[in-house]
Structure formats: structure tokens, C-alpha cells
Amino acid sequence: MAALRVRKTPALSSALALPRYSSTLRVRSFSALRSKSSPRQACLVSSHNAVGPSYASLSRYQQFGTSAVQYAETIVKVPQMAESISEGTLSSFTKQVGDYVEQDEEIASIETDKIDVSVNAPEAGKITELLVSEGDTVTVGQEIAKIEPGEGGGGGAKEAKQEPKEPASEDQPTSSQPEEPKEKKPKEEPKEEPKKEEPAPKKEEKPAAPKEEKKPAPPKEEKKDKKPAQEEPKGIDSPFGKGTRNENRVKMNRMRLRIAERLKQSQNTAASLTTFNEVDMSNIMEFRKRYKDEILKSTGVKLGFMSAFSKAAVLAMKDIPTVNASIEGPGGGDTIVYRDFVDISVAVATPKGLVTPVVRNAESMNMIEIEKAIADLGKKARDGKLSIEDMAGGTFTISNGGVFGSMMGTPIINLPQTAVLGLHATKERPVVVDGKIEIRPMMYLALTYDHRLLDGREAVTFLVKIKEYIEDPRKMLLA
């Protein structure tokens, strides 16, 4: 029997999908289609004698069925974070399955031992699957989510809402008869209206307002007065409770773990020693008071004391360059690295821990430029937007515990650096000036240094130089 060769058209999808039961059944199906075929769906009859279409050919035809088009999904992977960072903890998903995202919109946040890294959508679409869970450890290049490319959620939602409205509007004009039952419906509505009016008198029958007025009796007011007194201790943010002996165990985040590891490494590696001095802040405070408004008006920078101590440290390094050096090499280090640039790490406290963003090339900056750089880095640190480049390197660290009220402390060296300067709170204290006792604003300074590289004479000289520059800021202009 002559076989039929059919064009691959949607109209034939149902017939072509039939299982291969018998040639008679297929011929009948094709014959029926031939009788109903249009010019666009014409069937071509072949004169070749052959068996009916094979099962493989049927499956090939089936793919032209009327099933919905499936778009390829986009895989979201963990981005490259930094050379020294290969993994992190997925702290949170900012988007969930079914949410629409725009291109470059954040969908997840990864916590590393240094910074938080945002994972952004490579293209716009709908999130179809999350491949990991919050709290999981993820590595660079790992797949964490799938996105179905498409328009934004706003556009798709509007179209979805408009589609049901269109058929409703089409049904109304097509026939005038359905308008009549709509007129009947309002006739039925007035019947329901009196029912709605019936509960109204019930509301009027509830003039039990005087009973409610009797309820707010003075005893209740006394109870209200007692409640806030009981709630006061609850509002205190303290881990201690009355009569309780509970323990709450919280896993340290990656940054806290990294801080603990590096600080312990510093104590085990460096031969740490701390030297102290005190500085009279009178002149630098007068300098700031006289020029802060003018500088703020002309540059928009709020002049503080961190820039003065940074500049003083840079100038003191000209006399004691070893403070800016470091020990490197195998076996604890066998090489001293001297530098002709100064990158100052400024310690900034954040909710997750202490971070040290770096002011680059501080030796070539004036006080206003240093102050602006410190302010910008501090804001990025508090907002959690520091990058690896902002924190990498650093040749000398300044930590200001005075903002928290610290009187004196011994900071820990930030390896592989050689020294760290600790600033403390400024307090008025009696001091002897020209043989007289005067009240002056005084600050204690602490310099912790690595005794393997820096001798005591050099460390003390360096700290005294800083003291002299701060007590007479004019010297910084002459240095």
C-alpha cells in the first residue's frame, strides 16, 4: 500500500502522535485529515511503495506539538571574590523562588572572613529554583540558583491582569441579551438591602456604652501603671535574667573566626612589646576649632584627629623607616622589606567585627585628603560595602579606642606589619607646665611593635616624634 508523507503541521500533531497499532488505523487518520485539509495543510501522497512512518519518525514529528515553549534556564554561580578567598557562607537569599529579578539585582549575600559578597542576577527573569540553603558553605563557581529569562515581574503581572479583563469586555458587546439579566440582578439586590438594614437596628439596640464606661474603672488604671513598671526590666538589653541559669550558644561567623585566628597568630609569631606616652591635645584641638568650619565649607570634609595622627605617623617614619617595614620569608621570616610608600590601615568597628580598610599612599596626602579618605572608608565599612581591594595590604595600623572611652590599652599587631598605634580618650588632667600645675586635655598613646625588627630605642623615638607633631601642629608644615 502506498504510504502517506505528511507535512509537519500543527493540525497533524494529534494523528502523528498515535501509537503504531496498525497501518489501517494510521491510513484512516491520514484519510480523515486529507478530507479536512486546507491549502495550507495539504497532504502530499507519495507513489513510493513503503511501510508507514516509523516510530522514530513519529517521535520526530511529535516535537512540533502544541506544548508550551520551554526557555533555557540561566544558572547563577558564586562569583570570583578575591585571589585569597575561595569559599564563603551563604548568609541569606534576598530573593525567593517565584520572585522576578532585574539584571544585576542582588539575589544572595555570601559572608567571607573579610567582606560580604553580593551575588547578582546575570539577567532579568524569574527565579525557578534555589540550589543551596542559607548557612551552607559555597565555593567560587558553585551553582546556587536557576533563573528563567523573561520580562520583569511588574510587566508580566500587568499583562496577566489585563488578559482576563479583555475577554470580559468582549463578552459584553457580543450579545445584548446578557445585559438583561444584569438588570434583573439589581432588582434582586434591593431585596437584599432591607436585610442589610435589619442588622442596623441591632446596632442601635446596643446602647450598652455606659457599661463600657464603667469598665475603665480606676483599678484598671492602676494595673496599667503597674504593667510598664514590670516591662522596664524586659527592655534592658542584657543576657542576664532573674533566677535563670540558661546558656545560649551561637556559632561564630566567618569574620569573627578569621579575626580570632589572625590575632592569635600575631601573638604566637611576633615578639610584641608596648611602649606608652601621653600627649597634650590643647594645640591640635585649638587648631581644629579654628579651621574646621572653614574646611567644611570649602571642601565638605569634617576635620577630625585621625588625619592629624596619620600625618604625624607618616612624618615620624622618615626618621624611623623600620616602623613601616615587615619581616617576610620562610621559617618565621628571614627578609626585611622596606617600603617608600605608606598604606595606613584604619581600624573600624562594625556589627560583625573589626575591619581595617587602607588609606593608600598616605605619604603623598595632606591632612584634608587623609580625613576624607578615612571618612569614605568608614562609611563603606559600616554599610558593609568594603571590597577586598579596600582592605588588602596595609603597612601600619592606627586604632582609636578613645571613641569608646578607652583610657589605655595595648593593641595587637596586624601581621605582617611591624607596629600599631593605639589612640585613647582625651581627658582633662592636672599637668605641670612651666613649673605651674594646669588642667590640660591629655591623651595616652600606645605603640605595640614587633621587637624582632624594631628596637626599643626606635619605637620610643617614633612615639615621641608623634607626640611632638601633635603638640605643635605647625611642625607638620615644616617637616
* CA-based torsion, 216, 219, 222, 227: positive or negative: negative
Q: Is 99 a catalytic residue?
A: no
Strands 44-49 and 106-111: unpaired
Spatial CB neighbours of 467, under 8 Å, sequence gap ≥ 6: 277, 278, 279, 445
Residue 401 contacts residue 422 (beta carbons within 8 Å)? yes
Q: Give how far Cα 41 sits from Cα of 9, 10, 13, 19, 24, Å.
A: 7, 9, 12, 22, 22
Q: What angle do CA 201, 206, 210 make, to 5 degrees?
A: 150
Does the annotation count 48 as an active-site position?
Answer: no
Pair 308, 473: CB distance under 8 Å: yes
Query: Which one-letter amino acid corresponds to residue 77?
Result: K
CA separation, residue 367 to residues 275, 428, 476, 477 (Å): 26, 25, 10, 11
Is the separation of the CB atoms in 15 and 63 below 8 Å? Answer: no
Residues involved in catalysis: 451, 455
